[in-house]
Amino acid sequence: MPPFNPGQIARAGHLGSGPNAYVPQLLGSITDPDLGDGGIQDGTWYRVGPDLVRVFIRLRFGSSGVDNGSGTYSITLPTAASGVLNASNLIAVGQPLGSAQLRRTSPATFMAGIGFLFSHNEGPGGVALARFHRPEAGIVSATAPWAWAENDAIAMCLVYVADVDL
User: What string of DSSP letters covers 46-86?
Assistant: EEETTTEEEEEEEEE--SBS-B--BSBEEEE-SSPBPTTS-
Provide the number of structural domains found in the chain: 1
pTM above 0.95, yes or no: no
Q: Does residue 144 sit within a domain?
A: yes
pLDDT digits 0-9 by tens, 17-71:
889 999 999 999 999 999 999 999 999 999 988 889 999 999 999 999 999 999 9
**Residue 45, SS3?**
strand
pLDDT (0 to 100) of residue 122: 87
Residue ranges making up the domain that contains 87? 14-161
pLDDT band at 1 (very low <50, low <70, confident <90, very high): very low
pLDDT band at 135 (very low <50, low <70, confident <90, very high): confident
Q: Does residue 81 sit within a domain?
A: yes
Q: Does residue 9 sit within a domain?
A: no
Q: Does residue 138 sit within a domain?
A: yes
